[in-house]
Amino acid sequence: MTTAIAPSQRFIRTRHVARKERQQSLAKWLFFSMTVAMIIPLVAIVAFLLWKAAPSLDWQFIVDVPKRGMREGGIWPAFTGTLYLVVISLAVSAPIGVLAAIYLNEYAKDNWLNRLINLAVINLAGVPSIVHALFGLGAFVYAAKLGYSILAASLTLAIMTLPVIIASTREALSSVPRSFREACWNVGATRWQTIRSIVLPNSISGILTGVILQVSRAAGETAPVMFTGAVFFKAVEKGTLFSYGLNDQCMALSMHLYTVSTQVPNVKESIPFATAVVLLATVLLVNVSAIGLRVWLRNRKKW
């Protein structure tokens, strides 16, 4: 006669199960501690910057011009110069990068030449910025005769950030299922019609990732703009947004931060920290805007 087992005793927590649960809990807390270890230094750095920048950080500091040899005043010329450099470089690199990625992912055949191009794009993404600065100096300032100007500096930044945009755009295009393309081809759509109507709308959120990285890197680079178009000081009108021309040299926040931190004696202690906070806030604001747009576009996906 078989003894009936009570329902509460059918599933017993064995030693093996207990060991697996302990390992799972240990892994979870280990990963959590690694995450906290990354976040705490970031929060500490931002808090330190805000604390040091507090005496100078206000709206007047942003819209005012440097005074008394940059020992006092604001950062308006450097702030607008950074906006010029980022916007122009983005206007050049984003269309070229996206179109190049579309060709490499959708049209190019798998042969040695295209594999070589892909390898070159990946390697260019890791080239130090000082090398791009020397290339921009030779190619745009001297060879193209653009001189030291916003245009030369922006083109240098565009060349520097182009590989990132190409790589991220290719990744976004590849994430669109091939079945989407085949369904369009089966109903008579051309390759370009498929790319324009199906592939690009479903990959735009990933493409924006490359743009976000481009903006962050372009705004924070010093060497490329120092060699090609940035200047130590430029007199502009207070609060004037259109204070530079394409052929003018400009101030930039990254170079201005370096200048007031190392080259200007007796500068007010809070000014370099306030400049760093404004640069960081500018990059974060652009990134948050792009991320918000990316999330909105991603939520519109039907798959």
Which residues are bridge partners to 259 per DSSP? none
Tally of structural domains, the chain: 1
Please, what is the average pLDDT of the chain?
Answer: 84
Q: Is 210 exposed, middle or buried (0-12, 13-18, 19+ CB in 10 A)?
A: buried
pLDDT digits (tens, 9 = 90+) for 220-229: 888 888 889 8
**Is residue 29 a part of any domain in this protein?**
no
In a domain, 153, yes or no: yes
Given a cut of 90, is residue 152 above it in pLDDT?
yes
**Rounded Cα gap, residues 259 and 233, in angstroms:** 10
Token readout for 283 is: 């990059």
pLDDT, tens digit (0-9, with 9 covering 90-100), for 222-249: 888 888 988 888 888 777 778 888 888 8
Residue 161 placed within a domain: yes
- Pairing assessment for the beta strands 72-73 and 66-67 based on DSSP bridges: antiparallel
Residues 179-217 have pLDDT tens digits of 888 888 888 888 888 888 888 888 887 888 777 777 777
Q: Please, are residues 105 and 170 in contact by the beta-carbon 8 Å criterion?
A: yes
Q: Is residue 63 part of a domain?
A: no
In a domain, 49, yes or no: no
In this predicted structure, what is the pLDDT of residue 30?
92
Question: What is the CATH classification number for the domain harbouring 226?
Answer: 1.10.3720.10
Q: Is residue 260 part of a domain?
A: yes
Look up the domain containing 256 and give its range.
76-299
> Phi, psi (5° rounding) for residue 221?
-75, 145
The yes-or-no verdict on residue 156 having pLDDT over 90 is yes
Residue 58 domain flag: no
User: For residue 73, what is the enclosing H or E element?
Assistant: strand 72-73
User: 151 falls in which pLDDT band (50, 70, 90)?
Assistant: very high
Taking the C-alpha atoms of residue 90 and residue 157, their distance in angstroms, rounded to an integer, is: 9
Tokens 């070589």 -> residue: 116
Could you tell me if residue 55 is inside a domain? no
pLDDT: which is higher, 14 or 103:
103
Amino acid identity of residue 203, one-letter, is S
H or E element at residue 184: helix 178-186
What are the tens digits of pLDDT across the range 3-58? 555 555 556 667 777 888 888 889 889 999 999 998 999 899 989 999 988 888 88
